[in-house]
């Protein structure tokens, strides 16, 4: 199929099927019947993951042709395509799961019938995900899970949790981990919301007390979880490096429009700040395109850390500029002051990007060691059996 043929096909399909957003859920963790119905249409037409193989629900398109499809959907405001670039659980499964698990979960993930959360961080592990202590012990054709996770977004509504857990305490920390898709809606899983400074409660603590995960839901093989985790983190950082949350009311998302509405667009210093932010976003987009071009299915890319760190710094800089644009109005908040509320909401959410997907400090370590080739920091516990590693 030529590029022109593809453009005609996707545009004709959208003209015949897309009637506008309607009541489709728009939130990061939201889903509803209208959204699921639309995503199902996209899936059945094989637009969800256009670059994937035909046998796995795709069209086997090149990166260039996949971009044509994504651009066509974006032009009319239709969601659902490009999941081969951003759907973290589906891409992780395609790369490393058994065919049976792919068949069981990927269609539901692409149709938004199945939702997931990330069960990585723990109170005792800090920023070292290789130091997790949640345990998964084999019991026939299942594993019994006990432990605790924290900062888990969307855990209260998720159907499955992407769980990293320790399955061997006799080997060094990186070698004794396994990766599972754990069913969340069971008696052994307790979710407690954590109230955020924005007033939301997307983050949660999750406690496991003899929770059950089928052995068939193991991804990548027993004690091979660190490799799977690196693949999953690469997709997470790719998404965070390219996107950012929108504001509550939409009044502060476009920084140029915000300056124009405030009568500050002619201010030469603010214009310089705005231009710098726009230039940084454009540079980061080019860097992310480069990183994704190097990212093959089932691999990770250290360059993703550069994009994720850059987006974190961009959001903090945008918060500073937005606050300067509206001035003392930023001291206000609430529904009666939507512009100030949006500016403050985006400023507070900048800290989320500095923490989620690995802190800014972790990204700097990765960049220095794996991109720039600088000496690694000493790891005294790297080759020690994990049961001998001190904690406290």
Once rounded to an integer, what is the mean pLDDT over residues 189-194?
95
Q: How far apart are CA 163 and CA 228, in angstroms?
A: 11
pLDDT score of 193? 93
Three-class secondary structure of residue 58 per DSSP: coil
- Inform me whether the pLDDT recorded for 239 exceeds 80: no
Q: What is the pLDDT of residue 235?
A: 76
The residues annotated as belonging to the active site are: 236
> Does residue 277 surpass a pLDDT of 80?
yes
pTM: 0.85
pLDDT band at residue 339 using 50, 70 and 90 as cut-offs: very high
Q: How is domain 116-223 classified at the architecture level of CATH?
A: Beta Barrel (2.40)
Kindly tell me if the per-residue pLDDT of 301 is higher than 70.
no
pLDDT on residue 293: 65
Q: Mean pLDDT in the chain?
A: 90
What whole-number distance in Å separates Cα of residue 200 and Cα of residue 193?
9
Closest CA to 344 of 361, 364, 326: 326
- C-alpha 328/C-alpha 325 separation (Å) is 9
Domain assignments of the chain as residue spans, ordered by start: 3-86, 116-223, 243-371
Q: Note the pLDDT of residue 132.
A: 94
Model pLDDT, residue 102: 98
Most confident of 17-26, 52-61, 327-336: 52-61
Predicted pLDDT at 168:
97
pLDDT one-digit tens code per residue, 27-82: 666 788 999 999 999 999 999 999 999 999 999 999 899 999 999 999 999 999 99
Q: Name the band, by pLDDT with cuts 50, 70 and 90, for residue 366.
A: confident
Question: Does 116-223 match 243-371 in CATH topology?
Answer: no
pLDDT tens figures, 152-162: 989 999 999 99
- % of the chain beyond a pLDDT of 90: 65
SS3 184: coil
Instruction: Tell me the CATH class for 243-371.
Output: mainly alpha
Question: Does the structure show a pLDDT above 60 at 297?
Answer: no
Q: What tens digit of pLDDT does each residue of 128-137 get?
A: 889 999 999 9
Task: Report whether 272 contacts 284 (CB < 8 A).
Answer: no
């Amino acid at each position: 199929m030529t590029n022109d043929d593809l453009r005609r096909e996707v545009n004709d399909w959208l003209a015949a099927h897309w009637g506008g957003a309607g009541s489709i859920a728009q939130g990061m963790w939201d889903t509803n019947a209208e959204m699921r119905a639309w995503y199902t249409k996209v899936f059945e037409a094989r637009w969800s993951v256009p670059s994937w193989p035909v046998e796995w629900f795709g069209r086997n398109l090149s990166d260039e042709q996949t971009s044509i499809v994504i651009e066509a959907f974006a032009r009319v405001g239709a969601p659902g395509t490009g999941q081969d670039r951003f759907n973290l659980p589906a891409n992780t499964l395609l790369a490393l799961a058994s065919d049976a698990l792919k068949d069981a979960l990927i269609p539901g993930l692409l149709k938004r019938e199945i939702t997931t959360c990330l069960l990585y961080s723990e109170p005792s592990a800090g920023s070292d995900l290789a130091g997790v202590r949640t345990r998964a012990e084999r019991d026939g054709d299942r594993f019994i899970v006990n432990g605790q996770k924290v900062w888990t977004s969307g855990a209260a509504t998720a159907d499955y949790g992407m769980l990293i857990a320790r399955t061997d305490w006799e080997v060094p920390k990186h070698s004794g981990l396994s990766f599972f898709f754990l069913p969340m809606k069971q008696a052994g899983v307790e979710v407690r919301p954590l109230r955020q400074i924005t007033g939301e409660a997307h983050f949660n603590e999750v406690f496991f007390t003899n929770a059950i995960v089928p052995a068939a839901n193991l991804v990548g093989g027993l004690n091979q979880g660190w490799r799977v985790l690196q693949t999953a983190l690469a997709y997470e950082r790719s998404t965070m490096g390219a996107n950012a949350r929108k504001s509550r009311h939409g009044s502060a998302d476009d920084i140029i429009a915000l300056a124009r509405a405030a009568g500050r667009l002619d201010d030469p210093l603010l214009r310089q700040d705005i231009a710098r932010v726009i230039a940084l976003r454009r540079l980061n987009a080019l860097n992310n395109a480069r990183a994704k071009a190097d990212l093959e299915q089932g691999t990770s890319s250290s360059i993703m850390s550069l994009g994720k760190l850059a987006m974190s710094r961009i959001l903090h800089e945008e918060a500073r500029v937005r606050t300067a644009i509206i001035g003392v109005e930023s001291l206000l908040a609430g529904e009666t002051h939507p512009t100030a509320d949006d500016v403050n909401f985006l400023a507070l959410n900048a800290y989320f990007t500095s923490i989620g997907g690995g802190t800014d400090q972790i990204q700097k370590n990765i960049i220095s060691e794996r991109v720039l080739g600088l000496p690694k920091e000493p790891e005294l516990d790297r080759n020690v059996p994990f049961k001998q590693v001190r904690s406290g």
